[in-house]
A and B are shown apart, each in its own frame.
Chain A
Amino acid sequence: MSDAYVIETSDLRKTYDGPSVAGGIDALRGLSLQVPRGSIFGFLGKNGAGKTTTIKVLLGMAHATGGEARVFGLPVRERDSSVAIRRRTGFVSEDKDLYDLMTVEQIIRFTASFYSSWRNDLEYRYLRSFELPPDRKVKDLSRGMRTKLALLLALSRGAELLILDEPTSGLDPAMTEEVLQTLVTHVASQEMTVFLSSHHLTHVEQIADRVAIIDRGHIAVSGALEDLRETYRRLQLVFDGDAPEPAFRTAGALRVERRGRVITVLCNRGVDQISAEARALGAASIEVMPVSLKEIFLETVNGEN
C-alpha cells in the first residue's frame, strides 16, 4: 500500500448477520478503493449501496469480514491503529448524531479534549460564522444548526482526513450551499483530504475532483472527475429506416439501446471505432455528446442492475 493514498481498500468484504436472512446481508462485496492524498473524493452510490458501511469499516465502527483496509497506511482492523486513525480524522455522520444533553459549548470543549491538534482559531471562526448559540442544548438545535455544529467539530480537529457521510442531507438549498462553500474554503486553506459520501450528484460535482461510484458493495466506476467527463461519451446514431440490431465489437461500449430509428451508445473509450462501426451499419447521422456525472451514475447503477 502506498503513501500517496490516504485511504486504500482491497477486496473489502462485509456481511451483516441477520436473524431473518439466511447467510447474512452482503453490504460490501470486494470493494477496492484508493483515495489520493489531498483530493476531494466523492463517494457516490444509491441508498443501501454500501457507502455508510464502508465508512464504518474505515473508522472501526464495523468489522470487515474479508479483505483489507488501511487509512494513513494503518490497518483499520487493529485497535490501536483504529484509535490513531480517528485521532487524525474528522467525521460527520449522516444523522448528525451528537450528544443531545450537552450544550454547544460543552460538546465543543468535550471534543477538543481528545485532540492535541485542536484548532481554537477555527473553532472561534466557525462558531461566529455559523452563528451557533454556545449555551443552547444540542437537542434544541435545528437540523441545519446541528449540521453546522457537526461540521465545526469535524473541521476544528485539525484533521488530515475529513469523512463526511451525506453532510447535506435534510438541508434546504441555501444551507446546503453554505455548507459546501464552507467545505471548499476550508479545504483550500488546509492540507487535507476529503472523503465525501453522497447520493446528491450535483453537490459532489460542485466540489469533488475525484469520484467513485459504489453499487451493491463494489466499485463500479472510479477516477478523476475530469477524466470521467472526458472519456464518457454518448453516441446517438440515427438510421434512415429501423435501426439494425446493434453488435459493436469495440470494447468500451457500455450500454446500447435501440428505439425505432435511433441507437444510443454510452461508451467510456473507443468513440472513433464505435463511430466507424456505426457508419458500417449504415447510420445516417452520428452525434457524439458529453455525459454528465448524473448520467454516468445512472447508467452505471442501472447498467449494473
Chain B
Amino acid sequence: MLWYKSWLDTRWRFLIPLAVLVINIWGLLIEYPHIANLLRTVHIQPDALSESGVLGRQILESVAAERTYSGYIWYQWFRQNLSQLGTLCAVLLGSGSLLAGSSGAGTMFTLSLPASRNQWLIARAAVGLAQSLALVAVPSLEISLLSPKIGQHYAVSDALVHSMCLFIVAAMFFSLAFLLSTELNDIWRPLLIAGGAAVVLSIIESRYELNGIFRVMSGSTYFFAGSIPWIGLLISAVLSLAMLYGACVNVARKDF
C-alpha cells in the first residue's frame, strides 16, 4: 500500500505527460514523409556550415542524420523531444516529497503509520523511477509498433537501448529533485532548481560541444557507432544512487 499512496500522489504528473508523449509520436511519424521529401531537396555545403560555428555544425549534424528514417527518429525524438520532455517529466516526478509538509499531504498521518521513513522514501522513489522509465519506454516502443503504418521499420532493440540511456540520465535529474524535496517543503523550488540545473548543463554542453550527459542521454555513440555509453551511464547511475541515499539520510535526521 506504500506504492498505492505514491501512485495516488503522482499519477497525474505521470499520466498527462505520458498522453502528451504518445500523441507527440503520432505527429512525429505522420510528419516523416513530408520531412523526407523536403530533405531530398536540401543541399548543404558542409564547408560553409562548419565554418559558421556551433549552430552550423548542429544543423549539419541534424540534416545528415535525418536523411534516414532511423536518423530522423533519433534526432527528432531521442535527441530533441524526449531528452527535453523526459528530463522535465523526471524532475516533475521527483519533486514534492511524500514527506513534505504541504497542506493536505497528511505527513503526520503518514508518519504515524507503522512503516519506516526509508520504506516510504524507497516506495516513492521506486514508483517515480518506474513512471520515468515508462514515460521514455512506452512512446519509444510505440515508434517500433507504428512505423510499419508509414512503410518504415524501427528496431525494438534500438528503441530499448535509447530508452535505457534516456531513463538512466533522466533518473539523475529525478534524484536531484527528490533530494531537494527532502529539504524544501513545496513542489516548486525543487522543480525550478533541478530543472534549471538541467537547462544550464544543456546550454553549456551545447555551446562548448562537450561530450556530456545529454550526449549520453541521447545515446549518440550508439546511433553513430553502435556502442552503448556505459561509462556515462554508470556515472549517472552512481550519482542517482548517491542522491537517493542522501535523501534517505536527510529524511532520517529530520524532525516533523
Binding site for B on A (CB under 8 A): 16, 56, 59-63, 79-80, 82-84, 86-87, 89, 91, 93, 95, 97-102, 110-111, 113-115, 139, 150
From B5, B106, B108, B252, name the one whose CB has the most chain A CB atoms within 10 angstroms.
B108
Nearest CB of A to B4, in Å: 7
- A113 x B106 contact (CB < 8 A): no
- Cβ of B255 within 8 Å of any chain A Cβ, yes or no, is yes
Majority DSSP secondary structure for residues of B touching A: helix
Contacts of B1 in A (CB 8 A): 110, 113-114
Assess A61 versus B116: contact at CB under 8 Å? Given A56-B256, A99-B5, A101-B8: no
Contacts of B104 in A (CB 8 A): 99-101, 139
Q: How far is the CA of A60 from the CA of B252 in the complex (A)?
A: 10
The smallest beta-carbon distance between B256 and chain A, in angstroms, is 5
Among B5, B105, B109, max chain A CB count under 10 A is at: B109
**A87-B112 Cα distance, complex, nearest whole Å:** 9
Interface residues of B, count at CB 8 A = 22
- Contacts A83-B116, A114-B113 given: A93-B5 contact, CB under 8 Å? no
Give B contacts to A, CB under 8 Å. 1, 4-5, 8-9, 104-109, 111-116, 118, 252-253, 255-256
B256 cross-chain contacts in A, Cβ below 8 A: 56, 61-62
Across the interface, do A86 and B106 meet the contact criterion of CB distance under 8 Å?
no
Question: Is the Cβ of A98 less than 8 Å from the Cβ of B113?
Answer: no
- A-chain residues with CB within 8 Å of residue B105 when the two chains form the complex: 97, 99
B255–A111 touching, CB < 8 Å: no
Q: Is the CB of A97 within 8 A of B107?
A: yes
Is the CB–CB distance between B255 and A62 below 8 Å?
yes
Given known pairs A99-B5, A102-B8, the reply for A93 and B112 (CB within 8 Å) is yes
Chain B's closest residue to A16 (CB) is B255
A-B contact list, 15 entries, CB within 8 Å: A16-B255, A59-B111, A61-B111, A61-B112, A62-B255, A62-B256, A84-B114, A97-B105, A97-B107, A97-B109, A98-B109, A99-B104, A101-B8, A113-B1, A114-B113
